[in-house]
Amino acid sequence: MTEVTTIQTYDTPNSIREDLSNIIYNISPETTPFMSNIGRDTADNTYFEWQTDVLAAADTGNAVVEGADAGDTDFTPTVRVANYTQISNKVVSVTGTSEAVNMAGMRSLMAYETAKKAKELKRDMEAILLSNQAGVAGNTSTARKTAGFPTWLITNSVTNGATLPEMSGSGGNGYPDTAWTGLSTSTDVAFTETMLKTAIQNVWTEGGEAKVLMVGPYNKTVASAFAGLAEQRVTYNQVKPLKIIATADVYLSDFGEVSIVPNRFQPENFAFVIDPEYASVAYLRPFTTLDIARTGDSQKKEMVVEYGLRVKTELAHAAIANLTVSA
């Protein structure tokens, strides 16, 4: 009787098709909470300016004699502030062969990489806008840089031993040409509810309405554990307090509700109290994809955007600086 040999998959490795999924999995985060919360407008120059103003302090001594002359008027000039635009880009280069072959998970490598780079560019912008970066005028060998959000926040901020940024001109005029200094892991402090209350009150006192507390992932967990949070959480249209929620998203302060928003791309050693109405991204050139001239057997595309941060008035916001970044 002839012995039968059972053929196993190990005996025919060259005949078995590979099993490669047609789905490409990417868990990298794409959300940009800061850009999504603030406004969007346009810039007309690489150095774009706007004006801010405040009302005079309330005068309890404002009383005049009947029939008195009007007298001289008080005049306080507006403050003229500015920022620079910054150019950010991403480049994709794909050979003709790479575009022609049958790729798993995509019909076109160029289309896939272009979409991927667009998401990366948006993440870069989020991190830049929230960075402790002073404005830079730039020149033929130095790139222009837009002043990041922390460098604008002076009046209402809780410094925790760090040194405030400075404006380029006197009396608050100009642009932030000096970033925060003195931020150090040797002097940092734990984020506390008292700091948050102080920052919110400072914003309210100056006329703003704190709507968002933006924090990094570690300090989001710290904010969720504030002792008074359970007592101050309420359901909409109800009076009785809610039980504490581990991932609390709303903090009901003495001056209104504040949404707690975690942001992966902000400096962890800062917490930002924001009134989104008073900040925007100003675009000199919106997102544009350019075809670069061929120099061989490849396609090249450049995605470019030119933008700057407009903080309409820094009095509407606050920074809590020099925070501990881990347990």
pLDDT-based confidence at residue 273 (cuts at 50, 70, 90): very high
Residues 110, 299: contact at Cβ < 8 Å?
Answer: yes
pLDDT beyond 50 at 237: no
Mean pLDDT for 258-283 is: 95
pLDDT beyond 50 at 200: yes
Q: Where are the alpha helices (DSSP H) in the chain?
A: 33-37, 96-100, 109-129, 193-205, 217-224, 229-232
**What pLDDT does 114 receive?**
87
pLDDT digits (tens, 9 = 90+) for 127-141: 999 999 999 999 999
What is the average pLDDT score of the chain?
A: 86
Mean pLDDT for 255-272 is: 94
**What pLDDT does 246 receive?**
36
pTM for this prediction = 0.86
pLDDT-based confidence at residue 242 (cuts at 50, 70, 90): very low
pLDDT beyond 60 at 245: no
pLDDT digits (tens, 9 = 90+) for 80-109: 999 999 999 999 988 877 777 777 776 788
**What pLDDT does 45 receive?**
97
3-state secondary structure of 39: strand
Name beta bridge partners: 308: 282
pLDDT-based confidence at residue 24 (cuts at 50, 70, 90): very low
**What pLDDT does 31 receive?**
85
pLDDT-based confidence at residue 4 (cuts at 50, 70, 90): low
Task: Return the beta strands (E) in the chain as ranges.
Answer: 39-42, 47-52, 79-84, 86-95, 166-167, 176-178, 212-215, 250-253, 256-262, 271-274, 279-292, 298-311, 318-320
How far is it, in rounded angstroms, from Cα 44 to Cα 47? Answer: 8
Straight-line distance from the first to the last Cα atom of the chain, in angstroms, rounded to the nearest whole number = 74
Q: What is the DSSP string of 251-290?
A: EEETTEEEEEEE-TTS-TT-EEEE-GGGEEEEEEEEEEEE
Return the top range by mean pLDDT from 21-25, 111-115, 156-160.
156-160
**What pLDDT does 189 receive?**
97
Between residues 23 and 69, the one the model is more confident about: 69
pLDDT beyond 60 at 143: yes
Q: CB neighbours of 325 closer than 8 A, spacing ≥ 6?
A: 185, 188, 216, 218, 219, 268, 269
Mean pLDDT for 284-292 is: 92
Q: In the chain, where are the structural domains located?
A: 33-51+79-320
Q: Which residues of 84-93 are buried (b: 16+ CB within 10 A; e: fewer)?
A: bbbbbebebe
pLDDT digits (tens, 9 = 90+) for 44-67: 999 999 999 988 889 898 888 998
**What pLDDT does 156 receive?**
97
**What pLDDT does 110 receive?**
82
Residues 151, 183: contact at Cβ < 8 Å?
Answer: no
